């Protein structure tokens, strides 16, 4: 049978009122990711709680610091989200001592240290300072395979391109399943980060070229 046409999705700039929905969506998006399985020790009891803690604390701090987040909504249900760290604010979340303390209390010292080391290695791969970073993004598993991922990334690129100082967008993944998808969206692989046995691929999407107008 032919596939039904996906329901139209609305792009919306989110605020803290979407925090609960964002946490639930991102937990489902990341709990099976190989990078997070290593960082938060999937082989040890309590893994799902540790992933929930990371998502909860990142989302809470993101909205607390009034950082941008773009969402996709279908019939007012949040089905996709991208947290965005602008160039001048990207260190704000994990550099917060309050955030680190909450992470150590909820996810453990060792897992928190692993996560911070992974983020530091990622930042070392950046092609300069003037880039936006997507620390967390995802489409709810129930809505994957319907081209919502393409719509979400296109919205992110358009939003970030409004900042004329931005050189582009950076994201990363340790899931081999997503590599070709990001390449089809125009991302270039600019580095790799070793996360235990996982090879984390770092991707960069250049900002659109702006044409300088000659004076009249």
Contacts of 29 (CB under 8 A, 6+ apart): 136, 137, 138, 139, 140, 141
Q: What is the structure's pLDDT at 92?
A: 58
Contacts of 11 (CB under 8 A, 6+ apart): 70, 71, 72, 151, 152, 155
Q: What is the structure's pLDDT at 88?
A: 65
Report, at the CATH architecture level, how domain 10-206 is classified: 3-Layer(aba) Sandwich (3.40)
Q: Are 159 and 84 in contact (CB under 8 A)?
A: yes
pTM: 0.91
Q: What is the structure's pLDDT at 4?
A: 61
Q: What is the structure's pLDDT at 209?
A: 63
Q: Are 135 and 58 in contact (CB under 8 A)?
A: yes
Q: What is the structure's pLDDT at 216?
A: 43
How does pLDDT run along the chain (216 residues), one tens digit per residue? 345 667 889 999 999 999 999 999 999 999 999 999 999 999 999 999 999 999 999 999 999 999 999 999 999 999 999 999 998 654 556 678 889 999 999 999 999 999 999 999 999 999 988 999 999 999 999 999 899 999 999 999 999 999 988 999 999 999 999 999 999 999 999 999 999 999 999 999 999 864 443 444
Q: Are 164 and 88 in contact (CB under 8 A)?
A: no
Closest CA to 143 of 53, 54, 210, 81: 81
Residue 92 to residues 64, 108, 201, Cα–Cα distance (Å): 11, 21, 23
Q: What is the structure's pLDDT at 212?
A: 41
């Amino acid at each position: 049978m032919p596939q039904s046409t996906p329901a139209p999705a609305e792009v919306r700039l989110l605020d803290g009122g979407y925090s609960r929905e964002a946490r639930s969506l991102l937990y489902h998006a990341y709990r099976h990711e190989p990078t997070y399985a290593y960082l938060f020790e999937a082989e040890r009891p309590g893994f799902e709680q540790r992933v929930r803690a990371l998502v909860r604390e990142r989302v809470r701090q993101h909205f607390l610091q009034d950082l941008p987040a773009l969402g996709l909504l279908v019939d007012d249900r949040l089905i996709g989200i991208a947290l965005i760290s602008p160039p001048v604010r990207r260190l704000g979340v994990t550099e917060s001592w309050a955030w680190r303390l909450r992470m150590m209390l909820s996810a453990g010292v060792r897992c928190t240290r692993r996560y911070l080391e992974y983020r530091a290695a990622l930042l070392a791969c950046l092609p300069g300072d003037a880039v936006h970073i997507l620390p967390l993004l995802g489409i709810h598993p129930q809505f994957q395979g319907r081209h919502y991922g393409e719509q979400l990334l296109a919205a992110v690129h358009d939003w970030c391109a409004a900042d004329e100082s931005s050189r582009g967008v950076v994201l990363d993944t340790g899931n081999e399943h997503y590599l070709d998808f990001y390449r089809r969206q125009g991302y270039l692989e600019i580095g790799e980060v070793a996360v235990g046995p996982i090879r984390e691929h770092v991707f960069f999407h250049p900002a659109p070229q702006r044409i300088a107008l000659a004076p009249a």
